[in-house]
Amino acid sequence: MDLSWRQRVDVAWRMLRPFTLTASLVPALVGTGLALAQRHFRPGEFFAFILASVLIQSATNMFNEYFDYRRGLDSEEMVGISGTIVRDGIRPAVVLRTAWTLVGISLLLGVYICATTSWWVAVVGVCCIAVAYFYSGGPKPLAYTPFGEIAAAVSMGPTIVLLAYYIETGHISPSAWAASVPIGLLIGAILLGNNIRDMEQDRAGGRHTVPILMGRERGRMLFALVFTLAYALTLGFVLLGLLTPWALLVLLTIPSAVYVVKLFYRYSDPVKLHPAVKGTSVLLFRFGTLMFAGLLVAAWFPAG
């Protein structure tokens, strides 16, 4: 298909699925914010790491589109996909090749990060890339099992937060662990909300996601519980002294969380639920940026 340069840019942008990229940006910011609160910042490593994180997630989105198309799961009518293969006519091989190119660039960035920090970062990074591929690739993709949300929550929440913090400071702290948990929960919520929206298509495609196994009503309850835990744990970590009281700025996002949960309870149609899935990603961004801001304020105005 012959596309103009503007159409090519539009297709490339949609292929990245930009609204999902908060799941890689936010944990990197939070981990760096924790380091900044301790007067640690390495700009070269920071920009290399955040770019590598975004590239790996973008590659994950492309792997997902490629393998879902190969398995016959995607169609022109589906909601939430980039649709570059089924709607724009982009050859599947191009999508797959682009994904591996992004992985290759992220590996080069990883070499730079490891050379200036520790080669243990490479071990964790390779594990993250493996999750990115096997989420939708391989003989038994994680996305087709009840473990997809957990894999995403762990590999993109705590893992990225702790890596970002370690790259800046050279160690891991209890505060970094504490901050990573609510971020991981909200990242898992994005996948959970996505799977609630796509229940019927996923069931037809042979997937066994958490909402399919639990049912829509219990899936909604779990979704609301994940949000509740993210706020409750943040409050608990502040009370325990693991996080600065400024982290409570995240409580300003509670009205947005309530709104998103209500959307999932109000609708079952994928078209009407898609704004709720996007809303979950936006909520993560607001939650993470407010926590980052709170950490910066704590750095400028330390207690005592």
pLDDT of residue 190: 93
pLDDT, tens digit (0-9, with 9 covering 90-100), for 71-100 = 877 666 666 666 678 777 788 899 999 999
pLDDT, tens digit (0-9, with 9 covering 90-100), for 127-179 = 989 998 998 888 888 888 888 888 888 888 899 999 999 999 999 999 999 99
Band of residue 20 on the pLDDT scale cut at 50, 70, 90: confident
Q: How far apart are CA 230 and CA 243, in angstroms?
A: 14
Domain that residue 29 falls in: 5-300
> Helix (H, G, I), strand (E, B), or coil: what is residue 177?
helix
Task: Extract the tokens encoding 217.
Answer: 């009503």
Distances (CA, A) of 106 to 96, 158, 184, 187, 199: 16, 19, 22, 21, 33
Task: Extract the tokens encoding 67.
Answer: 């393998």
| Residue environment code for 130-141, b if the CB has 16+ CB neighbours within 10 A, otherwise e | ebbbbbbbeeeb
Please report, for the domain that includes residue 159, its CATH number: 1.10.600
8 Å CB contact between 185 and 197: no
Question: Crossing angle, helix 174-197 and helix 216-239, to 10 degrees?
Answer: 160
pLDDT of residue 304: 47
Domain count, the chain: 1
